A and B are shown apart, each in its own frame.
Chain A
Amino acid sequence: MNPQPEVVIVGVGQQPVGELWDVSLRDLAVRALRAAREDAAGLRPEAIYVGNMLAASASHQANLGALISEYSGLAGIAEGVTAEAGEASGAAAIYLAYLAIRSGLVSCAAVVGVEKVTDVVGSSVESVLARTLDSDYEAGEGMTTISQAALLLQRYMHENKPPREALAEFPKIAHANAVANPYAMYRKAIDSAAYMRSGMVADPLNLFDVAPVADGAAAIILTRRDLLPQKLAHPAVQLVASSLISDRLALHDRADPLFFGAAAVSVQRACQSAGMPMSAMDLFEYSDNTTLHAILSLEAAGLAPRGQGWQLASDGSLARDGYLPVATMGGHKARGYPLGAAGVYQAVEACLQLRAEAGGCQVAGAQRAMVQTLAATGSTAVTHILQRLD
């Protein structure tokens, strides 16, 4: 039996994240895909996997696979389908591309993460965002992803007593890292005073604890390592492992709500599959949907004991020159949080780091990166391990 083909990312593309009132869902997706194809020396994908969470409800548009294939000039040529796993949809689409290429059935695939939030405004935004929770038992009772994270952070603070100021370090790292990212929504560093002053969103989560939902699109082109184009103008990045784990959807059904079980298993499986320990990673694009998510991701990845994840942000470990830099281009908090596109943005950012093309955001000498994307309060976790190929 032939060995399974190795998967490489040969092109990346992204659009600036923000409230892009004048750019439509399809234009966003097509622009990101075009940029990725140009970066991939013009490789033509046979399959397009779209990551998206809101289009059917916010933009009244389903079947983005057909839409984006058509508007990219690939109708009738490429298979197009959407992966939906809440806020981890983009990462789930990468997982599908990984499976397709590993299986040998597809030799070149495109992944497009696209989210158009500003097709709705006001309370309609909260309403569509809450659809990733359990509709009958959570969203139907008025719960939102943010209020759920707030409840969990209340409990976390009660049990572990982190000083309030210590939590400021997470958005401070994200904002500092976004300053040099031209695609980021908020390119301004913040200080602790600004954090402590900011208004409450859902106590204890304040404005700086919550990633701002925004429009955006990012794309990557993947192929088999043995088909790597000769004329590629940059190093290729191997997608060494991809692991998607689903937890129980409703928080109350989980035995230990303060531990992201799916995230932990997904990290273990990815490391096992790659044959690399967590300690081999040079950076970690974690999922800072809120400060709570950032903390629990660190604990789930085994980087800190239970209840102590918050300390990592305070001792310099997570800074660009620290032991394991996180959110290196701003993370969801400062790059902006385009939901179903977020996982693809994270992959693009990790590729730029590994290709040493991250400019002012560059993590020196980065060879291996872990990327993790979380849906809602950890109901789905997707972990990717990427490695630079020279």
Chain B
Amino acid sequence: MSEDFQAESLLLRPKLPVGIVGYGAYVPRYRLPAKEVARIWGGSEEGLPIIEKAVAGLDEDVITMSIEAARNALLRAGIDPLELRAVWVGSESHPYAVKPSGTVVAEAIGASRNISAGDWEFACKAGSEAMVAAIGLVGSGMGRYAMAIGMDTAQGKPGDALEFTASSGGAGYIFGPAEESLAVIEAAYSYVSDTPDFWRRAHAVYPEHGQRFTGEPAYFQHVSASAQTIMEAAGLKAQDFTYAVFHQPNAKFPSRVGKMLGFTAEQIKTGLLSPVIGNTYSGASLIGLTAILDIAKPGDRILMTSYGSGAGSDSFILSVQEAITERQGKARSTQDYIRQRTEIDYATYVRFRGEIVVK
């Protein structure tokens, strides 16, 4: 058995060719500038991790936001929601501990009752893990279309470093036959390990983290191992891609890991949204990808790599198809959501996030 074959065999490739037939993003309109967090909690404005983050409004949660993204995906796919055979929502901030999000989303978008629905919880790669499963479902012939969503209203403890970045937003994808798709999945790959750099125990309101342990041994090790493996196994190099998008907990990590992997700033900037919307956790790399698909051209090749703490990294290689051109404009673009911006102060933020104890 040659080494090439071994590397090749690591890739997750469906029997039937699969692609993305529709995609949709959602970002709530409220923005909390990082300097506003620094104003309250102290610290210099020098070296803030992002510019500002998106904050869900009082009437928004992972379910409502997932419905928004799912509707955008359906608009682009142009399919009847009754044709969906799966609706999966990946998040670490499902509104209920017990009572699914997936069923609410499925009913709200008009999916049938003859579907698989489920909520995925797998740290920040819950959304990309649902994508891998959706590729499997369609690629095995179990169903024609499957929807995978990554969406979060992330929790950041007041005063903690995460409060600067933990934000709200995400994206949804409909997978279907490659011939109908706007981007074909050339390959997927999952790399997992038990590396506990960030966690939230049951009943705990806020997550905890291992500070700088979240860097080298966690984010950088997993993202670079996952991206390197899929590229090597697929026989591709950084310059073979038009765009790359990585999980983005802040502005610095994805830029640095991209550089480590040989990507240029030009390849990364389109999908790098964390500076202006923050870290949308399960939604982070997924919404970076929607921003790329919004402007991608047929023939472009894209690398996407997610990261979830204590979970690992999923990578996907996509090749953009002709159909993208007519589908891009069928729903609101990611940048359109980013432009829709209402700045809030810290007091409004804590009210929106339910941090004020009223009873």
Contacts and interface: CB of A to CB of B under 8 A. Distances in A.
B43 A199 contact: yes
B217 A199 contact: no
B213 interface: yes
Interface in B165-221: 208-213, 216-217
Contacts of B208: 122
B354 interface: no
Nearest to A22: B217
B59 interface: no
A121 B44 contact: no
Interface string A67-89: 00000000000000000000000
Given A198-B46, A200-B44, A121 B217 contact: no
Interface in A106-122: 118, 121-122
Interface string B261-275: 000000000000000
A122 B217 contact: no
Contact of B213 (A21, A197, A198, A200): A21
Interface in B243-275: none
The A interface, classified by DSSP as helix, strand, loop or mixed, is loop
Contacts of A200: 44
Most buried by B among A19, A22, A198: A19
A121 B211 CA distance: 7
B217 A21 contact: yes
Nearest to A198: B46
Contacts of A199: 43-44, 46-47
Interface range for A: 10 to 19
A19 B220 CA distance: 15
A18 B47 CA distance: 22
Nearest to B160: A122
Nearest to B44: A199
A203 to B, nearest CB: 10
B211 A122 contact: yes
A121 B210 contact: yes
Interface string B38-52: 000001101100000
A25 B124 CA distance: 31
B217 A118 contact: no
Given A21-B217, A22-B217, A197 B211 contact: no
Nearest to A19: B212
A199 B42 CA distance: 10
A224 to B, nearest CB: 44
A198 B46 CA distance: 7
A118 B210 CA distance: 9
B213 A118 contact: yes
A210 to B, nearest CB: 15
B47 to A, nearest CB: 6
Contacts of B213: 19, 21, 118, 121
Contacts of A118: 213
A21 to B, nearest CB: 5
Interface in B85-103: none
A96 to B, nearest CB: 34
Interface string A13-45: 000000101100000000000000000000000
Interface in B216-231: 216-217
21 contacts: A19-B212, A19-B213, A19-B216, A21-B213, A21-B216, A21-B217, A22-B217, A118-B213, A121-B209, A121-B210, A121-B211, A121-B213, A122-B208, A122-B211, A197-B46, A198-B46, A199-B43, A199-B44, A199-B46, A199-B47, A200-B44
Interface of B: 43-44, 46-47, 208-213, 216-217
Given A21-B213, A118-B213, A197-B46, 5 more contacts: A19-B216, A21-B217, A121-B209, A121-B211, A198-B46
